[in-house]
Structure 1
Amino acid sequence: LNSAEYIEMFGEDTVPYRRFPTLPAANFPNTERLYNQLTKQNDDLVIPSFEPVAIADRS
């Protein structure tokens, strides 16, 4: 944000913001939680609300 390129493209008075509450994330329930964690410098881990998919053995 503090670069010449950013100022050239957006100007000094443009503040970035989250445009869509439904970001193309893997799952919607974690979107708000991830957004809040990343913008507030929180060190907590976010556990996905879906079960991990088992990796198939392709040998």
Structure 2
Amino acid sequence: MSTSQLVRPRQGKWIAGVCAGLADRFGISRGLVRLGFVIFGLVGAGEIAYIVGWIVMPKDD
């Protein structure tokens, strides 16, 4: 897994790997990114951002 590219990992993901890919790329906790998406989903458009990330981010080789 490369941290220089924004990719969705094949291992260690829960749904599509968007949060895991973002966390790996920026060097922060996967749990923190997941929590951020949950909070953003409750007060904003977290679901839409997740789906966009799922479509835009390629899978890791």
Using structure 1 for the length normalisation, give the TM-score.
0.31
Q: Which is helix-richer, 1 or 2?
A: 2
Larger Rg: 1
Higher relative contact order, structure no. (Cα contacts within 8 Å, ≥ 6 residues apart): 2
